[in-house]
Structure formats: structure tokens, C-alpha cells
Amino acid sequence: MARYQAILAYDGSGFQGSQRQANIRTVQGEFEKALGTLNWSAHAVILSGRTDSGVHATGQVVAFDLEWAHSADALLHALNANLPHDLAVRSLSLASEDFHPRFDAVSRKYRYRLFGDAIRDPLREKFLWRVHPPVDGNALSQNAGVFLGTHDFAAFGSPTTPKGTTTRTVTESEWKQMPDGEWRYEVRADAFLYRMVRRLVFAQVSLAQGRLSAADIQRALAKQGKFPTGMAPAQGLTLVEVMYGSKDPI
């Protein structure tokens, strides 16, 4: 028996989130089904963190214990042959036997994609949020830095454990302009609160549409003001990377 680590990619549209739940199609559930075809007998796989219903991933990390007589590469291909079309293993390797994708992670990075358009656009709206009225891209770019550093993000999400801390450290927060009117937000932190990225995006879009001021956001970060609730839709969000420092470079 050995522990393996794998990077998973999925189109979140067809999953009700990542965590296994009875009688519901989830990433963990489908992954464990594929492992089951390889005589996997452990109790559960471990994910780096939860993604909500409809949220995508290109860099979700999972660990599992398996008796496997062949190469890691052969295991990757065996899993991909048994996984559904919207979920795949992108890379796979042996891990140390105490590797834990959630506890050992030192940072997570998410990407959020949006574009401005008054009219529905089915192909783009599969993976991007259509925003109207259009956003002021300069406002997005100039204000994103306000989240950098260590703050109490209680106004922007819920703790991941009951009564857990709502303090997080954001080390990257940047908007990039892409072709065809797309704006792409990349944000990295040690960890995120539930729904935090979607709330950060919603607040920034509200600002860039003139419905909120930079001072409103600063007050919310300082816990000195109430914050208008709102959350950007799931389909624009992708978990792109989980980092493990020197311990378990995956």
C-alpha cells in the first residue's frame, strides 16, 4: 500500500460540488468510483479543499492510498480510462505516506473570468460571468491590491470550521485584461473562507460599475461597516493551483 497524490481537472457544471454526498454526483464520489475499479479499499480520498457546485478546477489536489503494482503513469491512464468525460487526472505521483492535501497546503490560487455584454452569449457564459452594465477595467486593476496582506475577511465569507478564524493572508490579487473584453482575476491566499473568492469578485465588480466605493470595501475589510451581500456566479471560478512549499512539490 502506498500513498499517491494527483492533480485533478474538472468542468464543475455537472457536479454538485467536490465533497462526497450520498446519492449526489460529486467530484469525490466519481473519483472514488474510478478508484473502486482498481480494487481500492481505503475509506476515503482526501481533497485539498472543497469547491462549490458549478466551480471548476484545473489544479485540485487529491491523495489516496492504493495497492498498485505498476507505474504511476500507468495508474494515471487507468484512472482516466475510468473517470467520466468531465473529470480527469492531469498528473500523478507517489507521495510520502503522511502527505495531507489540505493540512500541508501553504497556498491556493483561484482564477475568475468575466466579460461585459448587454446580450446573452451562451458559449462564453459556460466558463465566464457576463456582467452588465460593463465594468470599468481601470477600477478593477487599481483597487485589487486592497485585499493584499493579512485581514479579517469576515465580511467576505464564512469560516471553514465552526467558529474558526476568518483571518486570511492574500499574497496575490490582480486583474488582467484579455482579448474580447474578458477580465481575469487571479487571487492567491494561504487559504480561503467559504465563498470568499466569489464575494471578493462581486464587491470589485460593484465597485467597477460604480455601485460601491473603495472606501466601502476598506471599511468592510476593517470590519467597520456592513457590506452589501452578493456573490459572483460559480461558473466563472476555477481552482488553478495548490502549493505545498518544499515538503511535497507536486
Of 75, 79, 87, give the one whose Cα is nearest residue 26. Answer: 87
128 binds a copy of itself, rule: CB under 8 A: no
Q: Where are the alpha helices (DSSP H) in 1-146?
A: 27-36, 72-82, 122-125, 137-143
Q: Where are the alpha helices (DSSP H) in the chain?
A: 27-36, 72-82, 122-125, 137-143, 196-208, 214-221
82 binds a copy of itself, rule: CB under 8 A: no
Cβ at position 147, least distance to a copy of itself in Å: 26
Q: Are 183 and 195 in contact (CB under 8 A)?
A: no
Q: 6, 62, 87, 212: which one contacts a copy of itself (CB under 8 A)?
A: 87
Q: Are 190 and 153 in contact (CB under 8 A)?
A: no
H or E element in which residue 60 lies: strand 56-66
89 binds a copy of itself, rule: CB under 8 A: yes
Q: 39, 123, 229, 246: which one contacts a copy of itself (CB under 8 A)?
A: 123
Query: Which sign, positive or negative, has the C-alpha torsion 81, 82, 87, 89?
Result: negative
80 binds a copy of itself, rule: CB under 8 A: yes
* Binding window for a copy of itself (CB under 8 A); candidates: 7-15, 64-72, 138-146, 155-163: 7-15
Quote the CA–CA distance of 196 and 186 in Å, as a whole number: 13
10 binds a copy of itself, rule: CB under 8 A: yes
182 binds a copy of itself, rule: CB under 8 A: no
Cβ at position 63, least distance to a copy of itself in Å: 19
Q: 107, 127, 184, 190: which one contacts a copy of itself (CB under 8 A)?
A: 127
Q: How many Cα atoms occupy the beta-carbon half-sphere of 82 within 13 Å?
A: 16
Site string for a copy of itself, 91-110 (x = CB under 8 A): x-------------------
Residues with catalytic annotation?
Answer: 52
Instruction: By CB under 8 A, name the binding residues for a copy of itself.
Output: 9-11, 56, 58, 76, 80, 83, 85-91, 119-123, 125-127, 238
